Structure 1
């Protein structure tokens, strides 16, 4: 659904931007399903596009424990623990925002359209 919406916004299927957003969405949603789930409650995915082309990906869940601002470095032989580090490397900005019930983990980046146009530094979503 995310890459379909991106295509409608001008970042076509299979582009570098589409693949980057697909990876970020997959990582944040997987974390919500794996670590943020409470019995009887679900998660929410939101994609927000500003007029200037800044894209914000939000995944909200119902667990309220805080996340570290910098994910810990996994052991060199660990098979997990690198997802949020990769999200930080791919996104222009990222963070966690508390909610009345749970939290929202988000990542923001500038959406580059099929013609490659766009600002290099997107405005932040704070």
Structure 2
């Protein structure tokens, strides 16, 4: 066993219960631990996230430079449009990043507390035809 193991990604926010509910629905997750100041969830794929109460939390302002991107989450999907509908229906909002296209098809969002995350299309593993 390794001396140090990866734990869980923790997002600071004013209302951890509400943010945990957003990600629980988005990731088809379940709550695994909760206290007065922290809620932890585990996604259907095993991904663990926690949300810690910080009443003075200031969300990042990405893509604006002031208080810019501190960290962000990447999620993989098959269908970008379907994922966007779900994100928005849960209270997330699209970010207007105006970044040049890259090797991946992706879209940026902010969760209800303002943390940025990316939804990226899974690369096809099927061989090219023709």
Q: Same fold (TM over 0.5)?
A: no
Higher relative contact order (CA 8 A, sep 6+): 1
| Bigger strand share | 2
TMscore range, shorter length: 0.3 to 0.5
**TM score, norm. by length of structure 2:** 0.33
**TM score, norm. by length of structure 1:** 0.33
Flag the structure with larger Rg.
Answer: 2
| Bigger helix share | 1
